[in-house]
A = this chain, B = another copy of it.
Amino acid sequence: MARPRFDVLGIGNAIVDVVIQTNDGFLSENNLLKGAMSLVDAETSAALYDKSGPAVEVSGGSAGNTISCLASLGASTAYVGKVFDDPLGHIFTHDIRSLGVHFTTAPAVAGPPTATCLVFVTEDAERTMQTFLGACVGLGPDDIDDKEIADAAVTYMEGYLWDPQAAKAAFLKAAACAHGAGREVSLSLSDPFCVDRHREEFRNLVSNHVDILFANEDEIISLYQTKSFDEALQAVRGQCKIAALTRADKGSVIVSGDDVHIVDAEAVVRVVDTTGAGDAYAAGFLHGYTAGKDLPTAARIGGICAAEMISHLGARSQTQLKQLVAENLSP
C-alpha cells in the first residue's frame, strides 16, 4: 500500500476557545459543573460571558487541538470541521492552516455563527467548559471527502462529535471509508459526561468501528460503568486493537491484545491549565504510532506533549514540540 499523504486526519467540532481565569465561587454562583464540558445555547453562553472576567481568544476544539499538536510535531495532517464565515471562523481557519494542516471544509454561510467554548480556568488549574456548538451542527456526511480519508493512515475523531446530530453520520461514513481503504480509525471519548450521553452508541463504536481508543480514567469507567479503573481496563481488552488509557499524574496504560504497558507521567514544574492535556497526549501517541515507534515509546511521546500543554494557559502549544520531544526522548 502506498504511503498515505496524511499521517492523521482529524474530524471534530471547530471551536474558538474564550479562556477566562476565575475562581470556584464564580463556578458555584453560576451552577457550572466543575471539570465538565456542558453544552449551552447562544443566549446562555452570551449571558455567562457578560458576567465573566477578561478573556483570551484562541482556537480550540478537541480534535483541532490534537491535529495542531501533531502538525507542531512535524506530522502530515488534515482536519475536517465546520466554522461559519465570520471573524471567529477566520481566526480558527488561519490558526490551523498556518501550521500546515490541510483544512478545506466549506464554512457555513447560513445558520448559527462559529462555535465558542467558554473555558473557565480555576486556580487549581482545572478547566470547566461551556460550549455553544454554533456552526458545528452543520457538519455532515457531505463534508467527508472519501479520497482524503483513504489518504490518511489514521482517521481520528472526537467523541464530542456525537453531540451535534448530523456529525454522527459523518463519523460513520469516515470510519467505513477508512477501513475500506485499509486505514485505521481512532476515537477519543472526550469527556465522562459525553460518554454518559452516548454510552450505548460509544460501546458499539468501540467494538465495531474503532482501532485505537483514547480515554481517561473517568471516561473508561463511565463507558463500562465499572467501580474501578482496573475493571474498566479488563472490560476494554479485546474490544479494539489498542486502548490508550490516561490517568493524569499516574501516567498512561496501553492495552493491546495480550499486552499491557504502564508508562509513567513526565515531570511538570507547575500545572497552570489542564485544558488540552488529553488532546496533546493523543497527538503525541499517534505521532509515535504512525512513525512506527513501539507502544511504550508512543505513550511516552504522548506524555511529553501533555506535560507541555498543562504548563501554560490554553490548549495550543507554545513551544516547538518537535524539539521538545527529541530532547526528552533521548537518553
The reply on A58 being an interface residue by CB < 8 A is yes
Taking residues whose C-beta sits less than 8 angstroms from the other chain, chain A's interface range is 20 to 34
The reply on A268 being an interface residue by CB < 8 A is no
**A21–B319 CA distance with the chains assembled, in angstroms:** 9
The copy count of this chain in the complex is 2
Q: Mark A293-316, 1 if CB is under 8 A from B, else 0.
A: 000000000000000000001101
The reply on A252 being an interface residue by CB < 8 A is no
Nearest CB of chain B from residue A152's CB, rounded to whole Å = 22
Q: Do B55 and A95 have beta carbons less than 8 Å apart?
A: yes
The reply on A85 being an interface residue by CB < 8 A is no
The reply on A238 being an interface residue by CB < 8 A is no
Q: Do B316 and A54 have beta carbons less than 8 Å apart?
A: yes
The reply on A200 being an interface residue by CB < 8 A is no
Which B residues are CB-close (under 8 A) to A49? Answer: 94
Q: Which residue of B lies closest to A100 (CB)?
A: B53
**A203–B56 CA distance with the chains assembled, in angstroms:** 37
A21-B318, A318-B313 known; A91-B53 Cβ under 8 A: no
A208-225 CB contacts (< 8 Å) to partner B:
none
A81-120 CB contacts (< 8 Å) to partner B:
86-88, 91, 94-96, 98-99
Q: Do B54 and A98 have beta carbons less than 8 Å apart?
A: yes
**A59–B55 CA distance with the chains assembled, in angstroms:** 8
The reply on A43 being an interface residue by CB < 8 A is no
